[in-house]
Every structure is written in C-alpha cells, then in structure tokens.
Amino acid sequence: MSQTPTTTSRRELHARPDQEGQVTRLVIMGPQGAGKGTQAARLAEVFGIVPISTGDIFRANIAGKTELGQTAQEYTNKGELVPDEVTNAMVRDRLGQADVKNGFILDGYPRNAAQVTELDQILADLGWELDGVIELTADRDELLARIARRAEQEGREDDTEEAIARRLDIYAEQTAPLTAAYGERNLLVRVDGLGEISDVTDRIVASLATQLG
C-alpha cells in the first residue's frame, strides 16, 4: 500500500482565513483492521490536533506494567472491552490535559452506548462539542486479511485469532449501532476504508469539509 502523504492540506480544508487556528474535535470509529489508527494519525496532522487512541494508552500501560495496565490486560488479551469505569476515567483524564485544547481525534472511544453518554458528559463539563464522527467501513474478509498481515509485521500480543474475532463481533454488536445516534445529530460521515491510505484520507477530509461547513 502506498505511504504517499495526503495531498489535502489544512489550509485547503479551512479556506477561510478566519478559520485559521480553528479547534476541531473528532471521533473516528471502525472495526479493527479498517485503518482507524493510521487515518487518525494522518487526520491529526491535517487538522493540527492530538490523536488519542484508548487502545494505545492501554498498550503503553501494559508495557509499563502500571496498575491500569494490569487491569486492562485481562480484557485486551481476550478482545473484551475494558470496564467502562476504568476506560471513562482514563479518557476524562486525557481530555483534561493541556495539549488537547486545540482539538483532538478520539480513536477507539466511545465503543458502547454508556461511553457515548459519558463522552457527552465529559465534553459538556469542558464546555466543548464534537465537530464530526467518522465511520470507516470495510468488509469482514478484507479486515481479517489486513489484521493477519499486521499481526505478522507488528507481532501485537493481543492479536490472537480468538481475540480478533471477538473484537469484530463486539464492534458489530455494540459499536456500529452507535453511529446511528451520531447520524441523528448530523455529525456522522461514513467513508470506505478500502484503497490507498492517502486516498482514504482525502475522502475523509472532503466529507468532513462538507460536514463541518
């Protein structure tokens, strides 16, 4: 797959000069293997915002053998969700940090209805609102092929066959239905995650430009 950087700059997206320095708050959703992490990093660059991946925070804590990591590992290894009270507190803490004030893209959160409610509450407490929610789509066979390639390249400990299948099931049962709620709020953009990485980024940016007005 091509690694060519996206051709879409932030200046093109925010063509009006009065939008320079604009704060952008995004969520990206999609099943494991859809390229969420890759696109989150690229979008963070385009918009000048901070990517926040709950999976990465858990993995860093597991690697660092922190108390949070020890709790999380029991769940991540099986592909189960870490309990909401643990995850919600972690996200609240992260969103309260100084680097987030210019905007963020949340990758991997919210993942169930309770987390949607909690995110609303966290944002309300901070006086913020979401600008857009991206859903990356891809079919299950393509996802399984991509995950197998990644498991070979990265050797992620939580990428066992059972854990992957469980994660895809949980996504379909608990996370995918959440996009309807964001659709009702006119926040949702749905983008095909298949294809060249840079093409997908361009598609997302173009859809968001319409969404964000």
Residues with active-site annotation: 36, 111, 150, 156, 167
The DSSP bridge partners found for residue 137 are 192
Query: Binding pattern to ligand AMP, positions 41-70, x when CB under 6 A?
Result: -------------xx--x------------
- Closer CB to ligand AMP, 31 or 132, in the complex: 31
Asked whether 42 and 35 are in contact (CB, 8 A), the reply is no
Distances (CA, A) of 54 to 11, 50, 88, 106, 186: 29, 13, 10, 8, 25
Any contact of residue 87 with ligand AMP (CB under 6 A)? yes
Question: Could you say whether residue 108 binds ligand AMP (CB under 6 A)?
Answer: yes
Answer yes or no: are the C-beta atoms of 82 and 73 closer than 8 Å.
Answer: no
Interface of this chain with ligand AMP, residues 157 to 196, rule: CB under 6 A: 167
Binding mask 115-154 for ligand AMP (x = CB under 6 A): x---------------------------------------
Region of residue 16 (phi > 0: left; psi between -120 and 50: alpha; otherwise: beta): beta
Binding segment toward ligand AMP, per CB under 6 A, in 16-24, 104-112, 135-143, 145-153: 104-112
Find out whether 110 is annotated in a ligand binding site.
yes
Measured in residues, the chain has a length of 213
CA angle 63, 89, 97 (to 5 degrees): 80
Which of 81, 95, 143, 200: binder of ligand AMP (CB under 6 A)?
A: 81
Binding site for ligand AMP (CB under 6 A): 32, 54-55, 58, 75-76, 79-82, 87, 108-109, 111, 115, 167
